[in-house]
Structure 1
Amino acid sequence: MSITDLMMDVLEKSGLMPLWQTVAPWLALDERQLIFMIATPVFLIVALWEYARIRNNPTLMDSREAIRNFALGAGYQITELLFAGIIAFPVFALLYQYRLFDLELNVFTAFLTFIGVEICFYWMHRCSHTMRWFWAAHVVHHSSERMNFSTAMRQNATNIFNGNWVFYLPLALLGLNPVWIGVVFALSLVYQFFIHTTLVKRLPAWVEFIFNTPSHHRVHHGRNPGYIDRNYGGVLIIWDRLFGTFTNEDEHNPPHYGITTPIPDNRLITLWTHEYADLFRDMAQSSNWRERLQRLWQPPEWRRGCSEKTGPSSQNQPSHQS
């Protein structure tokens, strides 16, 4: 019995199946979503442990923001749970039907899936900083000026509609089972939760060389010149080293977290949508359709707040610009 079958059996025996089918009749739980559901209580426990140690330091912890971060994470999980099955999964299933290779699950293909997901995550994450349409969803994760475990939960409920899952489609076409892809992706995000902290300093050199660590990820969240748009890796940091986007944390230049332009307010709806609103405003003010469409894939700072008639913006901030 798979983990999905087990979960559905629990719903059936508990009498909750009718409610589940009423709320989302199209929904079939998958292993990826179940991993997130199981991991969430662990995240809460670890976040409380960290909170007890940094709660008196307002530069590291704000109780109201931490609660807001978990609310943002809940919104992300809910929309993934309700809509992934009708938006993303059919596309993965279709491509898998036309797969190039028939691959059985074994140690080699499991490792291949891990490497494939890692490479796809790197490019998805990099594009989420360098293409404005994807940045519009990702910006919420970077808009906090604090770095703690609750920041990891600071996700956008629009992610499933934003389409960053398309970066993983080639893996299904190659012949990697979409279930394997989903499981590895979920486990990668679980790992990444634990690198959102200031309590862990440097790890042994060999770990820092291969893996994404709290030190590397603090750089990624920094808005300091030289830190912006660096260290995109998920579990591994080797892709950043290979593709020239790696930067070490400098103890003499500690990261200042957040984005270069403050968000209008801290309401959940604002956090989810403010960059979309700015993007659509800039598209509406553009002088022609070519420029309107370009805004979707150009960097977030490209001609921001102005049209082709008025020329480029005087600001030239990298993608931590909100």
Structure 2
Amino acid sequence: MPDFSPTQYAVPLFVIAVLAEMLWAKFRSPQAYEPRDTLVSLAFGLGSTVAGGLFGGLAIYLFIAAYDYRVFDFGTEWWSIWWAWPLCFVLDDLKYYWVHRAGHRIRWMWASHVNHHSSQHYNLSTALRQSWTGAFTFGLLFALPLILLGFHPVMIAICGGFNLIYQFWIHTEAIDRMPRWFEAVMNTPSHHRVHHATNPRYLDRNYAGVFIIWDKMFGTFEAERDDEQIRYGIIKQLGSFNLLWAVFHEWIGMIGDIWRAPWKHKLSYLLREPGWSHDGSRDTSDTIRQRWRARTGQINQTESVARRNLIADPGEAA
């Protein structure tokens, strides 16, 4: 099978689309683009490409080694089995949902994924904010079940490339809503704006890559509302256009927390959700949402406090 990388062929289309959106923004939404922010996004994209070239060999070695232990064998001409491609694409997207969800709920993985959410603007250049440090998390392990099922690593890589291409166009405010049937099944700009929002209602919602049905199946779907303006970025905004700080700030914060924490809590600062603290002094997306629900009358204050205590019991502080 010839070497094929779908993202390489899509790059010219990405450039044309960004330029077209910039033109749209000039006349319809001038605040959509900020020059320094856009430059940082472009630098992220370039850096992630370099990082992929430097550390991609690790993934290739791991996947090829695991492929020898596959349960099913599609034969030496696996690439010609037509039905395997759509099946692989769907299963790879399900895999993406779970690795993406883990990227928001495990701080070690969030330290890498936070890069993608660090812009306070939402435009096609934001899609280029890809991590430089993904190889230092265990996200690669989520692909192992597909390999053990018999899907060749090259097939998975190609399907993943098309998945990434699909996700590019949903990073825009230029498109309001798609037809209802499309919104019901597919990830769209509307659904993904929710995912990039810092509003308490929207935190840690809509993890989908291509098919929004996963969020509906696993209870993480939230529809965009017309009566609430979206605020983009992260809970504690960067406040800087320094590229290196944008790339590494969460790694620095996490390592600092681990260093200062009592021994029995050190591992939790690595594996618990972002914002967790052993003394309950910080907020996670769960506590922010619970407090918002209590404030808006969706739950009573007693329930909110009880749930917060379950997340981080001050009595456990040391």
* TM-score range relative to shorter protein: 0.7 to 0.9
Tell me whether 1:80 sits opposite 2:60 in the alignment.
Answer: no
Tell me what 1:294 maps to: 268
Tell me whether 1:68 sits opposite 2:40 in the alignment.
Answer: yes
Pick one of 272, 277, 281 that aligns with 2:252. Answer: 277
Tell me what 1:111 maps to: 86
SS in structure 2 at match of 1:251: coil
Tell me whether 1:45 sits opposite 2:16 in the alignment.
Answer: yes
- Looking at structure 2, the residues matched to 204 and 229 of structure 1 have their Cα atoms a distance apart, in angstroms, of 25
Pick one of 221, 236, 239 that aligns with 2:211. Answer: 236
Pick one of 260, 276, 281 that aligns with 1:313. Answer: 281
Tell me whether 1:252 sits opposite 2:194 in the alignment.
Answer: no
Deviation digits for residues 118-141 of structure 1, max 9, x if unmatched? 111000000000100010011111
Following superposition, the deviation at residue 35 of structure 1 comes to 2.4
> Which residue identity does 2:283 align to in structure 1?
Q
- Looking at structure 2, the residues matched to 137 and 239 of structure 1 have their Cα atoms a distance apart, in angstroms, of 23
Tell me whether 1:216 sits opposite 2:219 in the alignment.
Answer: no
Tell me what 2:145 maps to: 170
1:98–1:180 distance in 2 versus 1, CA, 3 Å: same
- Looking at structure 2, the residues matched to 271 and 129 of structure 1 have their Cα atoms a distance apart, in angstroms, of 17
- Looking at structure 2, the residues matched to 94 and 108 of structure 1 have their Cα atoms a distance apart, in angstroms, of 25
Tell me whether 1:97 sits opposite 2:68 in the alignment.
Answer: yes
- Looking at structure 2, the residues matched to 128 and 247 of structure 1 have their Cα atoms a distance apart, in angstroms, of 18
% identical aligned pairs: 38
Alignment length (residue pairs): 284
Following superposition, the deviation at residue 58 of structure 1 comes to 4.5
Tell me what 2:303 maps to: none
> Which residue identity does 2:268 align to in structure 1?
Q
SS in structure 2 at match of 1:226: helix
Deviation digits for residues 46-73 of structure 1, max 9, x if unmatched? 1001001113645311122112201101
> Which residue identity does 2:56 align to in structure 1?
A
1:75–1:192 distance in 2 versus 1, CA, 3 Å: same
> Which residue identity does 1:263 align to in structure 2?
L
- Looking at structure 1, the residues matched to 107 and 9 of structure 2 have their Cα atoms a distance apart, in angstroms, of 33
Following superposition, the deviation at residue 199 of structure 1 comes to 0.5
Residue ranges of structure 1 left out of the alignment (5+ in a row): 5-30
1:144–1:111 distance in 2 versus 1, CA, 3 Å: same
- Looking at structure 1, the residues matched to 287 and 273 of structure 2 have their Cα atoms a distance apart, in angstroms, of 7
TM-score, length-scaled by structure 1: 0.84
- Looking at structure 1, the residues matched to 8 and 287 of structure 2 have their Cα atoms a distance apart, in angstroms, of 31
Contact 1:55 1:62 in 2 (8 A): no
Q: CA RMSD for the aligned pairs?
A: 1.8
1:319–1:198 distance in 2 versus 1, CA, 3 Å: farther
> Which residue identity does 2:273 align to in structure 1?
P
